[in-house]
Structure 1
Amino acid sequence: MIEKIYKYSITDDKAVERVIMDDNINYIHMVFNKNDGLPEHFSNSNVYMTVLRGVLSIKLDEQETHEYKKGDILQIPFKTKMKVTNLHEDVLELIVVKAPAPSK
């Protein structure tokens, strides 16, 4: 078999799953319930966030919090301060791709 298969959870429970972590990319599956999210941090690579369901509330650098919904894809530059939160009742589900993969 040439291809390699990866799986992520189908869940409504909070999850941060590092599905693919190699030298090329990091591919991360995230699920957040209301008021869950990630602590404020700086992006350690170019980040691409795909909203699979729910509404993403995200604050980047000194901007106001912006909201994105299912089908939106965000590109966030390297070294951007970010705070990711689900401020809504519906479950938030994201795929996050970091490319190139952050160096250790």
Structure 2
Amino acid sequence: MQTITCAFCKGRGKDPFEIMSKEATCQVCGGRGKVTVAEPHVKCAHCQGTGVSPNSRNVCTACNGRGVMSVTDGKKVCPECHGTGRATESDLPCTKCGGRGVI
């Protein structure tokens, strides 16, 4: 979170249009002159927003990365990786964004 000057009243804390009265407080900041806003979220360039460190995804050992397993009557989706071919529990979090995917 970040505290910035209220753009509506320009930090004065008073209603800039003086509609109610000259002493009315700003509707946006409540007379404080500052507002707290969430910092903008930018997708992490290092992990492309996945939250996983690049090149840390290991191949599923149950299906050898194929995502399916051969059974007697055909093929079925691998129960370990759910068809992704990757061992999800071994993914390492991105070192730049801490695994959040955003900076």
Q: Which has the higher contact order (CA 8 A, sep 6+)?
A: 1
TM-score of the aligned structures, taking structure 2 as reference length: 0.18
Determine which structure has more spread, i.e. the larger CA radius of gyration. 2
TM-score of the aligned structures, taking structure 1 as reference length: 0.18
Structure with more of its chain in strand, by fraction: 1
